[in-house]
């Protein structure tokens, strides 16, 4: 029983909300619109807080999590995460 509990402690479960918008809505303002929604940036930065890698490694980890989950979404790059954190 103790070994199973230790194995579960290292597990990571991520749930995907089907209503969450990954891409930012166009707000009609002048200038370049943001590509990623605030929820997408928050998700990436939350993964970074949990695992504590650098922002580049966070982007790579989020890309692999998205590949596992199935959606074909782009991942925010390091400068985008850095600017919006």
The rounded distance, in Å, linking the Cα atoms of 31 and 19 is 27
**pTM score, whole prediction:** 0.65
> Which pLDDT band, with edges at 50, 70 and 90, does 9 fall under?
low
Task: State the Cα–Cα distance between residues 14 and 4, nearest whole angstrom.
Answer: 20
User: pLDDT (tens digit, 9 = 90+) per residue, 21-77?
Assistant: 888 887 777 877 778 888 888 888 888 887 776 777 888 888 888 887 777 788 887
Structure tokens at 22: 């990954």
């Amino acid at each position: 029983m103790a070994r199973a509990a230790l194995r579960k402690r290292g597990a990571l479960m991520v749930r995907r909300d089907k209503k969450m918008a990954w891409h930012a809505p166009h707000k009609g303002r002048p200038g370049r619109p943001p590509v990623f929604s605030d929820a997408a940036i928050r998700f990436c930065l939350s993964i970074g807080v949990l695992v504590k890698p650098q922002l580049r490694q966070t982007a790579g980890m989020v890309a692999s999590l998205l590949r596992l989950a199935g959606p074909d979404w782009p991942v925010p790059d390091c400068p985008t995460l850095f600017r919006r954190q």
